[in-house]
Amino acid sequence: MLRASGKHAGEEFDLDAIVDGSRDSGVPHGDLLGEFVEAALGDDSERLKRARSAVSETLGPEALVDAAGAIASFNAVVKVADGSGILVEDFKVELIQQMPERLVQKLGPPRRP
């Protein structure tokens, strides 16, 4: 989806930045948002406090809410997918084949029949 929205906006985002925080994704404020995700899904409360403040101060409190919502959604939907053993759709397999190798390695092989 990130690739698709970049295409719509006429931009090409660096998907390697998803697994490599030292790279610039090209997504506006992607560094702050990526840090917020890592902190929210981690165990360091001080890191999370800093990341939350950075997002709120830079992007605004409403953006903080929507970023937190997206994190919560994708931290939960994985339970639905992995708990049910749902297969990855054919169209997603084609998209996965276009993903950076490092990202595919981190995720492992998609569940297929």
Partner 1 sequence: MSIPSVAAHPSVPIRQDLLEAIDRAWRHLSAPGTWWTGAQRLRMVAEARHAAQCPLCRQRKAAVSPYSVPGEHSSLGELPETVVEVIHRISTDAGRLTERWVRACLESGITDAEYVEIVGLVATITALDTFSKAMDVPRRPLPEALPGEPSRRRPKGAKKTIAWVPTMSPQDLRPGDPDPFSRYGAVHIQQALSLVPDSVIGFFDLDVALYLQQDAIRDFATEYRAISHAQLEFIAAKASSINGCYY
Per-residue H/E/C for the chain: CHHHHHHHHCCCCCHHHHCCCCCCCCCCCHHHHHHHHHHHCCCCHHHHHHHHHHHHHHHCHHHHHHHHHHHHHHHHHHHHHHHHCCCCCHHHHHHHHCCCHHHHHHHCCCCCC
Of residues 63-102, which lie at the interface with partner 1 (CB under 8 A)? 63-89, 92, 96
Q: Is 103 in the site for partner 1 (CB under 8 A)?
A: yes
Of residues 8-47, which lie at the interface with partner 1 (CB under 8 A)? 8-9, 11, 13, 15, 18-19, 25, 27-30, 33-34, 36-38, 40-41
Binding residues for partner 1, rule CB under 8 A, total 65
How far apart are CB 98 and partner 1 at their closest, in Å? 13
103 touches 15 (CB < 8 A): yes
Residues that bind partner 1 (CB under 8 A): 1-2, 4-6, 8-9, 11, 13, 15, 18-19, 25, 27-30, 33-34, 36-38, 40-41, 48-49, 52, 59-89, 92, 96, 103, 106-108, 110
